[in-house]
Amino acid sequence: MLKKILLILTLTFPPIVSAESLHQPWDQLLNTFVEVREQERASGVNYQGFNTRRAHLQSYLEQLDAVSPATFDTWQKPARLAFLINAYNAWTIELILQHYPVDSIKDIGSWFESPWSIRFIPLLGKQRTLDEIEHQLIRSKTFQEPRIHFAVNCASIGCPALLNEAYTGDKLEQQLESVTINFLADHRRNYLKGQHLYLSKIFRWYKEDFERGWKGYQSLYQFLDHYLPLAGFSNAELRQWQASGAKIRYSDYDWALNDIPK
């Protein structure tokens, strides 16, 4: 009788999912198969290595799928955002592994369906696409967080580095600040030349996200005024750029796979 009661209680009241411990398997995979380079300004992914632990990755993805919308809604906002970033990055890895070897994520899909519009992700009670996770959930007004663009990874060299640890709610602020500064400090993609500041096209594609009033910033220039000095741009360089008209150009985006050749 006692066993029956316990079974009924377990089915009626499922165990509470810890938002932090949930991501430990993903953290271990990232720590093993993501190689951080150039003082955390870039990273490469060992997809062949990931493939040897495919079952572990898929088990983690199943754990993400097991999180109900009701449970998700009980978490604090940083934990919810960390969950979504991890889900996006982990499912991107899984998509690459489904088609590996490929030269670029853009080789996946068809004329009628980009890799980001493939509906293959069970998450929060729905079948979703990568586009939906990014644009409808991560970029939603619920979070209004521009630094997510340096956390989500599109499996390409032009993307911000894939962090070699899982995002967690308790460390999210520190992690987002770090990846933002590290990306801007990569002076191959973001640099001053002559009268122009060359930036990654991320800043063109998602300019509106940097102008929604986060921390009071109403323009991309205000965001850059804060972060460029932190990313190693000298005050003298920035004053000269501003005096010459503060012109911005956008550098080419490298869609080659961020693979570590073996």
H/E segment holding residue 249: strand 247-250
Per-residue pLDDT, 12: 45
CB 54 within 8 A of CB 46: no
**249 CB-side CA count, 13 A:** 10
7 pLDDT band, cuts 50/70/90, is very low
Count of Cβ atoms closer than 10 Å to residue 183 Cβ: 24
Assess whether pLDDT exceeds 80 at residue 200. Answer: yes
pTM for the structure as a whole? 0.93
Calpha distance 70→73 (Å, rounded) = 5
| DSSP-assigned letters across all residues of 230-241 | HTT--HHHHHHH
Q: Give per-residue pLDDT as tens, 159-172.
A: 999 999 999 999 99
**pLDDT one-digit tens code per residue, 66-107:** 999 999 999 999 999 999 999 999 999 999 999 999 999 999
Domain positions in the chain are 18-186
Average pLDDT for the chain: 93
Q: What is the pLDDT of residue 19?
A: 87
Could you tell me the CA-to-CA distances from 40 to 28, 62, 63, 179, 191 in Å, in that order? Answer: 18, 30, 29, 8, 17
Output the pLDDT for position 4: 52
